[in-house]
Structure 1
Amino acid sequence: MLNISKNSITEEVNSSAYPSLYDIKNNLAKRVFLKVLIGLFLLIVGLLFLPWTQNIQSKGYVTALRPGERPQTIQNTIPGKIEKWYVQEGDLVHKGDTILFLTETKTEYFDPNLIGRIKEQVDAKAQGINAYEDKLKALDNQIHSLNDLQKLKIRTLDNKVKQAKLSVSTDSAAWKASEINYQTAKQRLERQEEMFEQGLISLTDLENRRLKLQETKAKVIEKENEYGLSINKYINTLIEQDQVISEFAEKISDVKSKRSSAGSELYQGLGEMSKMKNELVNYEMRQDMYYVLAPRDGFITQAIQAGVGENIKENTPIITIVPKTWKKAVEVY
């Protein structure tokens, strides 16, 4: 009867006899109910998206939302004497505007041409370094020349040693030959004396043979002396060779020592020049620090330091600045 089942009995039942069936089949009430239900659902959903707050009461104060937007003090980087103010309380300043000007209080920075003089010292040191570099090159060339000269000298002495050795061999052979000649002449003299005793030769021939023996003996002594001279010459050549090697080693060692000293002075000069350049940059940066600048846009609210000619130390609070634009927040406690 409610048309729930697929087997309908609507045609078999007379609905006019049952008014309740007619009421149930009335779709108007159903539509109203659905509309009311949908309306309530939409109302609940809409309430979920509506803003709502809870109110509490507490003590606190207004501050900036971000730390970078809160009031801050401006400090000087270097010590100095206040020479001139460029702002006053309540002024609006922009980032990079000059707050005040400081002058030096340390005697080592009093020279107004300090940077120029340091630059001159750096240039002079650079020229000195160039001179040391040229000296190193000259010493390297000198060492190279000494090595070449030593090789040439040793090669020459090697030839002299070979020649002296050959002279020793030649003179030794000549000495041996003269001794053989002397022995031969001596034997001939003995035979001549036997022949003279037998009356086969004259006294003149015997005396000629004796004179020949003396000449042969003198030749032996001469060749022996020449052999001795050759030995001495050979020994002197070897000594000279050792002296040349020692002499060139000493010269090369001396030049290398000078080169090491020049290299040490060069590196020392480079270190000093680097230190001077560092000082130069520090002096240039220090001059920029004479002017205390605003770190941001904002209003000058309070001058902590006052007057002109007052000496202040480094990192001394000078003024208080409030940012020009900032987001407010409430800090409660």
Structure 2
Amino acid sequence: MKLESFDKIYHVHRKSNVKRWFVVVILLCIAALFLPWTQNIKVKGNVTTLYQDQRPQQLNSPIPGKIIKWHVKNGDYVNKGDTILQLSEVKEDYMDPLLVERTEQQVRAKQGVRNYYEAKVGTTDSQLKALGAARELKLSQLKVKISQLNSKLAAEEAELLATTNELALSEDQFNRQKKMYDEGLVSLTQFQQRSVAYQNALAKKTVIDNKVAQTRQEIVAVEIEQNSTIQDYAEKLSKTEGDRLQSMGLIEGSMGDIAKLENQVANYRARQGLYAVLASQSGQVVQLSKAGIGEILKDAESIGTIVPNQVDYAVEIHVRPVDLPLLKEGQRVMCVFDGFPAIVFSGWPNTSYGTFAAKVIAVESNIGANGLFRALLAEDRGQKPWPPQIKMGAGVQGIAILNDVPIWYELWRNINGFPPDYYIVDNQKSATTDGKK
């Protein structure tokens, strides 16, 4: 009996094309094995910037103080120099409202003391000049007196010499007169006259001797007075010079005190300008950590963060140590930003949709705490521009483009667990291509 249902279900008598399609598929698969495949390294990272001044900046309190007024709220956009909040003083050393004026009074008082000592130094200089002039005058007088005494001594010595000669002559005459008197050749009166003349000559010589001795003593006394004068004036000059040096030392001390007080005045004025916390750059204020009025801020305590408006974005990626030798400066990397749809064919980067081109500009030489190396990517200006909606810290998936190989080679490499081929980037060629574009 023939079953119609069997014939309708199992078409055993009909001609089939399965074998033909099987062969075609096999041939297509074999042909596909010879298609080009771009080797790549898949990495993850996030959006950042190359410039420190374009990174999110913390708002810090420059001084300890108490919040008295807020001028912004979370999410507000501010320009550079806008006031974020105002502070009041909490340290007792700075609470005096006339602190600057009182410190300036101290400066003026110290300046007056310095001027007094400068005047004293001027007076001391005048005293030194007067003492020097008086010493020279006194010494000149003593020199003149010594010169006069020396002249007097010379005259007296000459007189002494004449008197000595006269005495010798009188003594000789006296001796001859005495001999003649003894022989009876002269009278007693004549002998007595010669004796008186001899005694007068002897007395005259004694007087001259005394004068010479007295003059010599006067010269010695004047010389002693000269040495005493030199010593006295030296002591007076030394004492006056000591007073001068002491005054100069006090002047230097006063100048140091003045400089210190002027520094305090400048610091107090600068501190008065720190009661308003200003925006360090233009951007959005976020993550304000203090609330309300009256909260106390410590020195350099964080208040919040400013995210800059104008940012030249870059991407930082983290590379495994095994892939690090394959990554070089100037290498092309395709980026997929979080939040932007993309269709990615990793082996055919030119056919991918939603990817953005970047170039490796730096590879750090030290490994990070996560066991990965960090590399920085910059936008490839010759390709499609990056989306303006990206934000700092957004996630990024990167595909580092390596060598072009056949698909069969890539399958064989993965089956054997071999790494991608070592790829040398031709930076000169890349730069020339960019310049032509």
Per the normalisation by structure 1, the TM-score is 0.73
CA displacement at 1:144 relative to structure 2: 3.1
Tell me which of 95, 99, 108 is aligned to 2:84.
Answer: 99
Which residues in structure 2 correspond to 1:285-296 (within 5 Å)? 285-296=270-281
Corresponding residue for residue 85 of structure 1:
70
* Matched position secondary structure for 2:59: strand
Corresponding residue for residue 312 of structure 1:
297
Asked if 1:144 is matched to 2:129, the reply is: yes
CA displacement at 1:265 relative to structure 2: 1.9
Bigger relative CO (Cα 8 Å, ≥ 6 apart) = 1
> Radius of gyration: which is bigger?
1
**Cα 1:202/1:60, change in 2 over 3 Å:** closer
* Matched position secondary structure for 2:85: strand
Match of 1:138, as an amino acid?
T
Q: Mark the runs of 5 or more structure 2 residues left unpaired by the alignment.
A: 1-41, 312-387, 398-437
Which residues in structure 2 correspond to 1:220-235 (within 5 Å)? 220-235=205-220
Output one character per residue of 1:124-157: Cα deviation in whole Å (capped at 9) or x when no partner. Answer: 2222222333333333333333333333333332
Match of 1:305, as an amino acid?
K
Q: Which whole-Å CA distance do the structure 1 matches of 2:259 and 2:288 have between them?
A: 41
Match of 2:69, as an amino acid?
K
Higher helix share: 1
CA displacement at 1:87 relative to structure 2: 2.6
Q: Is the 8 A contact 1:63 1:328 kept in 2?
A: no
Asked if 1:237 is matched to 2:301, the reply is: no
Tell me which of 192, 201, 218 is aligned to 1:216.
Answer: 201
Match of 1:293, as an amino acid?
L
CA displacement at 1:58 relative to structure 2: 9.2
Q: Is the 8 A contact 1:164 1:237 kept in 2?
A: no
Match of 2:220, as an amino acid?
I
* Matched position secondary structure for 1:245: helix
CA displacement at 1:201 relative to structure 2: 4.8
* Matched position secondary structure for 1:303: coil
Per the normalisation by structure 2, the TM-score is 0.57
Corresponding residue for residue 102 of structure 2:
117
Q: Which whole-Å CA distance do the structure 1 matches of 2:154 and 2:51 have between them?
A: 106
* Matched position secondary structure for 2:305: strand
**Cα 1:67/1:250, change in 2 over 3 Å:** closer
Which residues in structure 2 correspond to 1:162-201 (within 5 Å)? 162-197=147-182, 201=186
**Cα 1:287/1:213, change in 2 over 3 Å:** same
CA displacement at 1:69 relative to structure 2: 4.3
**Cα 1:224/1:65, change in 2 over 3 Å:** closer
Corresponding residue for residue 10 of structure 1:
none
Which residues in structure 2 correspond to 1:270-285 (within 5 Å)? 270-285=255-270
* Matched position secondary structure for 2:303: strand
**Cα 1:104/1:187, change in 2 over 3 Å:** same
Q: Which whole-Å CA distance do the structure 1 matches of 2:239 and 2:174 have between them?
A: 67
Q: Which whole-Å CA distance do the structure 2 matches of 1:105 and 1:255 have between them?
A: 52
* Matched position secondary structure for 1:84: strand
CA displacement at 1:79 relative to structure 2: 0.9
Q: Mark the runs of 5 or more structure 1 residues left unpaired by the alignment.
A: 1-56
* Matched position secondary structure for 1:178: helix
Match of 2:208, as an amino acid?
K
Q: Which whole-Å CA distance do the structure 2 matches of 1:331 and 1:145 have between them?
A: 89
